[in-house]
Amino acid sequence: MNKKTDSQQNRQGTGQKRKRRAVSWFLNILIAVLIISGVFFLARPRVINYLSDQKTEEVLSLVENFEEPSVTVVIGRDEYRVAGEELEQLVFEEELQPGETEANETGEADEDDAIRPAEIVNLYATLQIPKIDLTIPVANEATLYAIRLAVGHWSPGQRFGEQGNAVIFGHYMQDYGRHFNRLNEVIQGDQLIVTTYDAVYVYQVDRQLIIYPQDLLASITAPTTDARLILVTCTPTAEQRLLIYSHLVEVIPVTR
């Protein structure tokens, strides 16, 4: 009888040990998965930023060579995403596209967008801001995809050098020095230099202005007799917009 009891106890003990091992194994696997997931989510933005910066440098090099008047790149719809860009896109669509039809508001345009796997971006200039040691390519429109890799020339505005407001949009990036992250350091008297295939446009900064998003369209379309360049980005909290106003001081023709 005692032998049977001992045998049963041994089997029970062995079974409990196996259960404990299984639970321990499961917990170890779970912990490992959580750690790997945490590392992935922490590292992912850095990896995206690195790849984005590499692509921006590649594009900048092509644009600066000016072998052609413009450079075309293809950006996958999910490539080089910028944190919070969906909110910015809403701002662009609602406030910065005068004359848009209601079709865009119904979602028809969104359905068309959804079937396109990639977007074509044309870049045709560079923007140099010596004060903050920034040189960045300029796209010919300020779309969601264009300003992932560059800054964008708002197409309803004026062309560089023309009377009126030429407007460039760029992201305020969280990392120091990326895109328009340091734009708040640009002050009156600083230079902005736009280089295209056939000319260099030199602007001198007049002032900074911080406004709310609902006032943006009125600000960048205000009448002026000057040839202006206005740079636009978010403030760090994204609740307001920072505008840098400048006026044209020199146009240098370029022969290629």
Q: What is the pLDDT of residues 95-140, one digit of tens each?
A: 455 444 333 433 344 555 556 678 899 999 999 999 999 999 999 9
pLDDT, tens digit (0-9, with 9 covering 90-100), for 208-251: 999 999 999 999 999 999 999 999 999 998 899 999 999 999 99
Q: Is residue 136 within 8 Å of residue 193, measured between CB atoms?
A: no
Q: Where are the alpha helices (DSSP H) in 122-231?
A: 146-149, 216-220
Q: What's the predicted TM-score (pTM) here?
A: 0.75
The residue assigned the tokens 């809403």 is: 90
In order of 142, 183, 186, the CA distances from 191 in angstroms are 22, 12, 9
Please state which of the four CATH numbers 1.20.140.10, 3.40.50.880, 2.40.260.10, 3.30.70.120 is assigned to the domain occupying 2-253.
Answer: 2.40.260.10
Residue spans of the domains in the chain: they are 2-253
Cβ atoms of 174 and 207 within 8 Å: the answer is no
pLDDT at 85: 72
Distance CA 121, CA 144 (A): 10
Residue 124 to residue 9: CA distance in whole angstroms: 81
How many angstroms separate the most distant Cα atoms in the chain? 109
pLDDT in tens, 34-89: 565 555 455 555 666 677 788 889 999 999 998 889 999 998 888 888 877 766 65
Distance CA 158, CA 243 (A): 16
Residue predicted with more confidence, 90 or 86: 86
Q: Quickly count: other Cβ atoms within 10 Å of residue 64's Cβ.
A: 12
